[in-house]
Amino acid sequence: MSGMKNTSKKLRSLSAALVLLFFGGITSLFNSANAADLVPRTILLGSSYASEVTTHTFQFLTATPSNIGSIQFQYCSNSPLFTDPCTPPAGLDVSGASISSQSGIVGFGVGGATTTSSLVITKAPAFEASVNVSYTFDDITNPSTSNSVNYVRITTYDNVNGTGAVVDTGAVVFITEDPFDVTAYVPPYMTFCIGVTVAIDCSSTVGFLADFGEFSTFTPSTATSQFSVATNDPTGYNTYINGQTMTSGANIIPNMLVQSASQPGNSQFGINLRSNSNPSVGSNPQAGPVGNGVVASNYNTPNQFRFVNGDRLAGAPNSSGFNRYTVSYLVNISDEQKPGVYAATLTYTSIASF
Amino acid sequence: MKKHLASLTLKRTTALLQAGALVIAAMLPALLLSNSASGDQLTNRYIDMSATQTSAGSGRDGGDAAGQNVTYTVAFDLATAHSNLEGIVIQFCSDSPIIGDGCAQATGIGLDLSSATVSQNTLGATADIDPSGWTVTNGDDDLIILDDATGISGSVGNTVAFDIDGITNPTSTGAFYARILTYDVNTNATGYTAGNPGSNIDDGGIALAVANELTVTARVQEVLEFCIGTEVDSSLAYATGEDCGDVSGTDLDLEVVDSNSIATTSTIDTPNDGIAMIRTNASSGAVMYYKAEQDTASGQLKIAGSACSGTDLDDPCFNSVGTTRAVIAAGTEDFGLALKERVTTTGGATDSIVCDADYRGDGTAGCTGAVAGNNYAWDDSGAFDTLASSSGPVDDELVALEFAATASPTTPTGLYTVTANFVTTATY
Q: Residue B278 above 90 pLDDT?
A: yes
Q: Is A350 on the interface with B (CB under 8 A)?
A: no
Whether residue A341 sits in one domain with residue A236: yes
A197 and A154 part of one domain = no
Q: Containing H/E element for A183?
A: strand A180-186
- Do A161 and A203 share a domain, yes or no? no
Smallest Cβ distance to B422: which of A80, A177, A187? Answer: A177
pLDDT at A32 over 80: no
Residue A146 lies in a domain: yes
Residue A204 and residue A343 in one domain: yes
* Chain B contact set for A319 (CB, 8 A): 314, 409-410, 412
Is B221:B291 a contact under the CB 8 Å cutoff? no
Q: Do A279 and A319 fall into the same domain?
A: yes
Structural domain contains residue A340: yes
- Distant-in-sequence, close-in-space partners of A3: CB < 8 Å, separation ≥ 6: none
Q: Which residues of A touch B255 (CB under 8 A)?
A: 184-185
Residues B93 and B151 in one domain: yes
Residue that terminates a domain, selected from A140, A175, A210: A175
Strands A36-37 and A166-175: what pairing? parallel
The closest alpha carbon to A292, from A233, A348, A349, belongs to A233
Residue B246 has pLDDT above 90, yes or no: no
Cα separation, B243 vs A330, in Å, equals 73
A111-118 long-range contacts (CB < 8 A, ≥24 apart) are: A111/A70, A111/A160, A111/A161, A111/A162, A112/A161, A113/A70, A113/A72, A113/A161, A113/A162, A116/A88, A116/A92, A117/A74, A117/A75, A117/A76, A117/A86, A117/A88, A117/A89, A117/A92, A117/A93, A118/A72, A118/A73, A118/A74, A118/A75, A118/A94
The Cα–Cα gap between A53 and A70 comes to: 24
Contact B328, B376 (CB under 8 A): yes
Contact A40 B284 (CB under 8 A): yes
CB within 8 Å of B154: residues ≥ 6 apart:
B78, B81, B82, B85, B128, B129, B160, B182
Task: Please tell me whether residues A165 and A199 are part of one structural domain.
Answer: no
End-to-end CA distance of chain A: 112
Compute the average pLDDT of residues B150-164.
Answer: 94
pLDDT band at B115 (very low <50, low <70, confident <90, very high): confident
Q: Which residues of B touch A149 (CB under 8 A)?
A: 224-225
The nearest alpha carbon in chain B to A49 belongs to B421
Closest-CA distance, B375 to chain A, in angstroms, reads 18
Domain final position from B187, B210, B233: B210
Sequence-distant (6+) residues with CB within 8 A of B37 are B99, B181, B200, B202, B203
Q: Please answer yes or no on whether B252 and A45 come within 8 Å at the CB atom.
A: no
% of chain A surpassing 90 pLDDT: 89
CA distance B217 to chain A (A): 13
pLDDT at B1 over 70: no
Provide the domain limits for residue B365.
224-426
Domain count, chain B: 2
Q: Which among B180, B210, B240 is the end of a domain?
A: B210
> CB neighbours (10 Å) of residue A2?
6
pLDDT value at residue A86: 98
Q: From residue A275, how far is each of A33, A201, A282, A331 by CA, in Å?
A: 91, 21, 5, 16
Gyration radius of chain B over CA positions:
43
The answer to whether the CB of B115 falls within 8 A of the CB of B144 is no
Same domain, A202 and A158: no
Is residue A175 scored above 80 in pLDDT? Answer: yes
Domain co-membership, A257 together with A196: yes
Q: How confident is the model at residue B23 (pLDDT cuts 50, 70, 90)?
A: very low
The shortest C-alpha distance from A49 to chain B (Å) reads 8
User: Has residue B412 got a pLDDT over 60?
Assistant: yes
Residues of chain B contacting A43 with CB distance shorter than 8 Å? 425
The ipTM assigned to this model is 0.81
Which residues from A are below 8 Å from B331, CB to CB? 201
Query: What is the pLDDT at residue B214?
Result: 76
pLDDT in tens, A279-326: 999 999 999 989 999 999 999 999 999 999 999 999 999 999 999 999
CB A219 within 8 A of CB B290: no
Between CA A276 and CA A261 the distance in angstroms is 10
Q: Which residues pair with A54 in a beta bridge?
A: A140
Determine the pLDDT at residue A326: 98
Output the domain CATH number for residue B184. Answer: 2.60.40.3490
Q: Which of residues 151-170 of A touch B (CB under 8 A)?
A: 151, 170
Contact at CB, A232 and B251, closer than 8 angstroms: no
Q: Which residues is B326 bridged to in the sheet?
A: B376
Amino acid sitting at position A344: A
Please answer yes or no on whether A289 and B415 come within 8 Å at the CB atom: no
B68 and B153 part of one domain: yes
Amino acid identity for residue B123 in this structure: L
Q: Which range in A8-17, B64-73, B244-253 is most confidently predicted, on average pLDDT?
A: B244-253
The β-bridge partners of A205 are: A198
Q: Which amino acid is at B341?
A: E
Give the DSSP letter string of B277-327: EEEE--TT-EEEEEEE--BTTB-SSEETT----TT-SSSSB--B-EEEEEE
Q: Is residue B341 part of a domain?
A: yes
Q: Do residues B287 and B414 both lie within one domain?
A: yes
> Helical H runs in B134-194?
186-190
Please identify, among A175, A208, A232, the residue that sits at the C-terminal boundary of a domain.
A175
Q: Backbone phi, then psi, for B331, in 5-degree steps?
A: 90, -15
Domain boundary among B154, B182, B210: B210
The overall average pLDDT reported for chain B is 85
What does the pLDDT read at residue B346? 85
Report yes or no on B17 lying in a domain.
Answer: no
> Does residue A106 sit in the same domain as residue A228?
no
Give chain A's domain count.
Answer: 2
Give the Cβ contact number of residue B155 at 10 Å: 12
Paired residues of A248 in beta bridges:
A251
- Residue B259 and residue B188 in one domain: no
Q: How confident is the model at residue A11 (pLDDT cuts 50, 70, 90)?
A: very low
Considering chain B, what percentage of its residues have pLDDT values greater than 90?
Answer: 64
DSSP for B237-262?
Answer: -S-TT--GGG-B--EEEEEE--SSS-
Residues B290 and B374 in one domain: yes
- Asked if the C-beta of A191 comes within 8 angstroms of chain B's C-beta atoms, the answer is yes
With CB atoms and an 8 Å threshold, state whether A289 touches B423: no
Judge whether A11 lies within some domain: no
pLDDT given for residue B65 in this prediction: 62
A14 touches chain B (CB under 8 A): no
- Identify which of B406, B315, B381, B390 has the alpha carbon closest to the alpha carbon of residue B355: B390
pLDDT band per the 50, 70, 90 thresholds, residue A236: very high
| Res. B5: pLDDT tops 80 | no
| A contact residues 310-329, partner B, Cβ 8 Å cutoff | 318-322
Query: Using the beta-carbon criterion (under 8 Å), do B423 and A45 form an inter-chain contact?
Result: yes
**Close Cβ partners of A42 (under 8 Å, ≥ 6 residues apart):** A58, A59, A60, A172, B284, B425, B426, B427, B428
B262 and B313 inside one domain: yes
Q: Is residue B29 within a helix (H) or strand (E), and if so which, with residue range? A: helix B2-36
Average pLDDT of span B160-174:
90
Here the CATH number for the domain that contains residue A91 is 2.60.40
Assess if residue B31 is contained within a domain: no
* Cβ partners under 8 Å of residue A23, min gap 6: none
* Residues B374-412: b if buried by 16+ CB within 10 A, e if exposed: bbbbbbbeeebbbbbbbeebbbbbbbbbbbbbbbbbbbb
Q: How confident is the model at residue A42 (pLDDT cuts 50, 70, 90)?
A: very high
In a domain, B242, yes or no: yes
Q: Is A352:A188 a contact under the CB 8 Å cutoff?
A: yes
Residue A81: inside a domain, yes or no?
yes
Q: Is residue A73 part of a domain?
A: yes
In chain A, what percentage of residues exceed pLDDT 70? 90
- Answer yes or no: do B138 and B249 share one domain: no
* DSSP count for chain B of H helices, then E strands: 3, 22
**Chain B residues near residue A133 by CB distance under 8 angstroms:** none
Statement to judge: residues A248 and A214 lie in one domain: yes
CA distance B290 to chain A (A): 10
Tell me what pLDDT residue B38 has: 52
Say if A1 falls within a structural domain: no
* Structural domain includes residue B30: no
Q: What is the pLDDT of residue B145?
A: 95
Comparing CA positions, the residue from B420, B418, B400, B417 lying closest to residue B271 is B400
Same domain, B326 and B240: yes
Pick left, alpha or beta for residue A180 (phi over 0 → left; psi -120 to 50 → alpha; otherwise beta).
Answer: beta
A337 to chain B, closest Cα gap in Å: 46
Best probe of the A interface among B311, B328, B421, by most A CBs < 10 A, is B421
Is A18 within a domain? no
B265 and B408 inside one domain: yes
Closest Cβ–Cβ partner in A48, A185, A322 for B255:
A185
Q: Which of B224, B255, B413 sits opposite A175 (nearest CB)?
A: B224
Residues of A in contact with B421 (CB under 8 A): 47-49, 177, 179-180
Residue B11 lies in a domain: no
Residue B329 C-alpha, separation from nearest chain A C-alpha, in angstroms: 13
- Residues A194 and A313: their CA atoms lie apart, in Å, by 13
Say which residue, A5 or B266, is predicted with more confidence: B266
What's the pLDDT tens digit per position in B338-381?
A: 999 999 988 889 999 999 999 999 999 999 999 999 999 999 99
Tell whether A13 is covered by a domain.
no
Rounded to whole angstroms, how far apart are CA atoms A48 and A173?
12
* Same domain for B133 and B86: yes
Are B156 and B233 in a shared domain? no
CA B374/CA B329 separation, integer angstroms: 8
Same domain, A147 and A222: no
For residue B232, tell me if it sits in a domain.
yes
Tell whether B162 and B259 lie within a shared domain.
no
* Nearest residue in chain B measured CA to CA from A178: B250
> Is residue A171 located within the same domain as residue A204?
no
**Domain end marker among A175, A203, A232:** A175
The one-letter code for the residue type at B288 is M
Mean pLDDT score, B235-252 = 77
**Nearest CA to CA, how far is A300 from chain B (Å)?**
24
What's the pLDDT tens digit per position in A76-86?
Answer: 999 999 999 99
Chain B touched by A33 (CB under 8 Å):
no
The span from the CA of A291 to the CA of A316, in Å, is: 9
Most confidently modeled range among A289-293, B48-52, B299-303: B299-303
Query: Could you tell me the residue range of the domain that residue A139 belongs to?
Result: 33-175
